[in-house]
Structure 1
């Protein structure tokens, strides 16, 4: 019985959850690849140091791979989705802190990027939460 409670068992039940995980993976992976490949250019455009964009990009690529893997499993681990949601919430909080604390001399485009990413990640997290609730 504990296994049933800790995993999502049917594909139909997990449709929204899998969709949310795959969308998060696609967005995270695309951003990660762009950050790694164009860190110097993006650094100038956004006012962020390339030295920050390289490891953030690498993290996002790895995170995306983990999300795709999680979404592809026959049974989606509720605990793993909880970790994904916690990482997403941490991203949003760090984005707000970056803006509030003024850690970097962001350009207008950089500020818009940070806000847009935080909004999108919040949306992914909301969808993941809704997907989990449907599977409960």
Structure 2
């Protein structure tokens, strides 16, 4: 499995409204400020995506690097949630077979622009969150 030198980095689609809301959701609940964020459209995000086989021009997943390993699709979402205070209970969802979890994830990912919308440009975080963004 490919390793990445930075840890607890969330890769997301910066023009996706749903993905940007996910980042704000995590940042708000991440009281330890463990996670940092990078849009796939940034130079750093593009390198990260390509390293893990994600097409930066047509991403089908977000990702999180945790423990030096990239977690994709439902594994990424559940890993992030399980590390947030009050959300550790989601660990039990890892018991749901991965193909089923990823099928649901992929259905939402394929339709995210149509359902939630798309920004013309990358989502720009507020000043406090900007300190946690890697470009």
Same fold (TM over 0.5): no
Which structure: greater strand fraction?
2
Which structure: greater helix fraction?
1
Q: TM-score, normalised by structure 2?
A: 0.28
Q: TM-score, normalised by structure 1?
A: 0.28
Higher relative contact order, structure no. (Cα contacts within 8 Å, ≥ 6 residues apart): 1
